[in-house]
Amino acid sequence: MANRDNAIMYIDDEEPNLVAFRAIFRREYHIHTASDADQARQILSENPDIKVIISDQRMQGITGIEFFASILQEFPEPIRIILTGFADQKAMLDSINKARVYRFLSKPWNEHDLRQTIQSAIEIYDTRRDLKRKQHDVEVALEHLNKFIHTASNEMRSTLVSMHGIVRLSLSNPEGVDVHEFLPLLERGIVEIDLQLRNIINHYNNNRHLSNIEEISLEEMVQQASETLEALIDLSKLRMRITNPLQTSLVSDAYKVQLVFNNLISHALNNMAPNQEYLDIDIDMNPEGDGAQIIFTDNSMYVDTDLSGTLFETMISGKGKNYVTLYLVKEAVHNLKGTIEIDSVENAGTSYIIHLPNQRLEQRDDRTA
């Protein structure tokens, strides 16, 4: 399909040909024309969106093939088409081997053939670009996965090393050791490793394609999060208040929404200041636009609010322990097509403003079909 957003360039040292080309194709494409190689290079530099270049073969001072060969390094992406009235075998072979020309058309051109060739060239250009983008996405995802594995392994190993230390201490001084003094520490280590493993499982579930879209009560999600965490962490210091619970329901993926609450609560608990008596969490839920706004506020320690792509590096350098938990929140919100803003103030606490849009109920059928 012709599209004026598609930019193409025609090079010919005969002005009437340029005028004719523009007159024929101006309604279908965004057209650039050049009467010599220098002008063509200038246009290419200023218009990196040009998808197809059509060049006359016989021009003063340079052939079309020589021009294409000369720009191959600097502008490798546009698809190249040669027009010539004097097609010989050598020129055709050179065009393919030296200048990576896509098609060789006779001149004067047949409008129908030229149109079809330009269209095919644009499709090839778009496909290549799409493929390149997808390849880049895959590389980024793989890089993230590798860093995730590296970080999670380091964190778990660090906890195991601590537990090993406790065992070594017990073995080094068996008479003076009160086992009961060490058991709570060992239990803490086990819980930490369990949390790390849960993070890995959550990361997998967060990114799986299947999802279960249903109408959910946000209040129930918070209650379920508390019940899940109770089995793992001591919640006796937690004081949680929910504002407007009954007014706000959401059509969404229950698993991911619960993960958001699970991780925000457990992150806050893990970031309580030493000697902090209680962790106060306020959750304000309101219908907003086509979805819900959740304002989650806690009085835990200051957290670095930068959850950009550098998160993993931050963690690996030791600056962001427990940040996998927050990263998974960001990932879940992102997968739910929502937004998250974080604001943290030293000695005051952290607030998260989350907007989650309603998903379409029929998505469940689409996705699980």
Partner 1 sequence: MTIVLLDDNEMDLFVSSKLLENLHADVIVKGFTNPDNALDFLQADNSVIGLFVDNQMPGMSGFDFLAMLIENDIILPYMAVLTASLGTAERSKYAQLSRKVHLFEKPIKPDQIRLSLSL
**Which residues contribute to the site for partner 1 (CB under 8 A)?**
154, 157-158, 161-162, 164-166, 168-169, 172-173, 185, 188-189, 274, 317-321
- Residue 162 or 224: the one with the smaller Cβ distance to partner 1 is 162
**Rounded least distance, CB 165 to partner 1, Å:** 3
**Rounded least distance, CB 104 to partner 1, Å:** 56
**Rounded least distance, CB 327 to partner 1, Å:** 16
φ/ψ of 74, rounded to 5, equals -80, -35
**Rounded least distance, CB 260 to partner 1, Å:** 24
How do the residues of the chain divide into helix, strand and coil, expressed in percent and rounded to 5? Answer: 50, 20, 30
**Rounded least distance, CB 274 to partner 1, Å:** 8
Q: In this structure, which amino acid lies at residue 299?
A: N
Pairing verdict, β 7-11 and 279-287: unpaired
Task: Give the residue ranges of DSSP H helices in the chain.
Answer: 15-25, 37-46, 64-71, 89-97, 111-172, 179-207, 218-230, 254-270, 311-316, 323-335, 363-368
- Residue 2 or 161: the one with the smaller Cβ distance to partner 1 is 161
- Residue 289 or 318: the one with the smaller Cβ distance to partner 1 is 318
- Residue 182 or 255: the one with the smaller Cβ distance to partner 1 is 182
Taking the C-alpha atoms of residue 94 and residue 282, their distance in angstroms, rounded to an integer, is 72
- Mark 349-362 as b/e (b = at least 16 C-beta within 10 Å): bbbbebbbbbbeee
- Residue 92 or 186: the one with the smaller Cβ distance to partner 1 is 186
- Residue 60 or 347: the one with the smaller Cβ distance to partner 1 is 347
**Rounded least distance, CB 151 to partner 1, Å:** 12
